Amino acid sequence: MVTLDATATDGRYHRQELISWWDQSRLSNARVLIVGAGALGNEIVKSLALLGVGHLDIVDMDKVEHANLARCVLFRDGDEGRPKSEVVAAAVGTLNPDVTAVAHTVPVQQLGLGFLNEVDLVIAGLDNREARLWVGQSCRKLGQHWVDGAIEGLRGLVRVFLPEGACYECTLGETDRKIMAQRRACALLSAEEMHGGKVPTNATTASIIAAIEVQEAVKLIVGRGDLLALRNSALMYIGETLETYRVTYAEDEFCPSHDRYEDLLPFAVTAETSLADVVTAGHVRLGEHLDAVELEDDLIVASRCGSCGHNAPVLRSLRSLRPGDGLCPACGEELTLDARRVLDPTDKVLAARLLDLHLADRDVITVRAGNRRAHFALSPALGTPGVFQEGSR
């Protein structure tokens, strides 16, 4: 056995640092959000951890199933039933002790817009359009970059969305938008409906697509956007023939997702903080006359049963409802929900505690006076169960 001196050429990252444009210190200091811990998410996290990307946040609300084991590199027999995000985060420590990984066992929307603003980059490996649309719209609002990937059978695609140019919603056709609007109106989709049917996938396709996602991501993390191969465009990969081709997306000037928020203002919350406290801060920021309080998610302010007339007082975010919550407790028929995203600054519902509204953990609340706005980012997190920390660095 040959013993090497502890010289620089023996450093953990030496070989990759030989790449001319590499910047290991930027990678080591970066914080990346990985959305989805399935087949793609496993591979994305594996590569980011090996590369020494310093801090990984991994969000996925699902649990490991037996049928995941054939294509998820970080799952083992016996992990069935454990949250995917926790299993993946725990595996990071065995791949590279330099890397910290935090698991979030919630829907990505529950992290909140403020969370996405804290990370350097978002990389998605998702299986549903609703989550992808939320990530796309949120990144656009924040001027955040994100990398998307998708697989089906032996085929896949990778795309990179920059803050300017076509966004994810620009890539959707009119029919897609209509379907999604209807689905959003029908708030109480089950997880199965949300994720659609089971699609064919395998380990090789997942690893190829995830590797390309991470390769583009590294260029962004080290500040070399000039090296990107994909800019508001997609690489389509066909595994059967090993053909690839590019698709460049055109920016849709009527796209409803092109709102850009100015700076997010940190807003300290406690368990007792109410919406009215946010309005008070808005007065200080924008002056005495506010026109509206705008939320990131619909807030249900009332519900009524069309069949039996039962009125239920409800005051919570639409997203926090579960299947069954939308049914009348008296007769079982579907309730009509009064949901609002824009509130009058004098509305009495503003007295409600933020905690009771089940807003996203790091939600953003906007107050408006004319065309001037202030965006308050709640901090610290309102507190959702299911956050699991692995590693201590």
Binding site for Zn ion (CB under 5 A): 167, 169-170, 255, 257, 305, 307-308, 310, 328, 330-331, 333
**CB 305, min distance to Zn ion, A:** 3
Which of 100, 113, 77, 179 lies closest to 364, judged by CA?
113
**CB 312, min distance to Zn ion, A:** 9
Rg of the chain (C-alpha set): 22
| CB-nearer residue toward Zn ion: 37 or 122 | 122
**Upstream peptide bond of 323 is cis (omega within 30 degrees of 0):** no
| CB-nearer residue toward Zn ion: 308 or 351 | 308
**CB 278, min distance to Zn ion, A:** 28
**CB 172, min distance to Zn ion, A:** 9
Q: Which pair of tokens denotes residue 84? A: 């995917």
| CB-nearer residue toward Zn ion: 75 or 168 | 168
Q: Say how many C-beta atoms besides its own lie within 10 A of residue 228's C-beta.
A: 18
Q: What is the largest CA-CA distance in the chain?
A: 82
User: Residues 269, 378: contact at Cβ < 8 Å?
Assistant: yes
CA distance 336 to 357: 19
**CB 250, min distance to Zn ion, A:** 10
**CB 309, min distance to Zn ion, A:** 7
**CB 133, min distance to Zn ion, A:** 10
Residue 267 makes CB contacts below 8 A (sequence gap 6+) with 278, 281, 365, 376, 377, 378, 379
| CB-nearer residue toward Zn ion: 67 or 308 | 308
C-alpha dist (Å) from residue 385 to 55, 210, 237, 295:
21, 29, 39, 22
**In this structure, is the dihedral angle defined by the CA atoms of residues 169, 170, 172 and 175, taken in order, positive or negative?**
positive
| CB-nearer residue toward Zn ion: 5 or 253 | 253
| CB-nearer residue toward Zn ion: 179 or 308 | 308
| CB-nearer residue toward Zn ion: 126 or 328 | 328
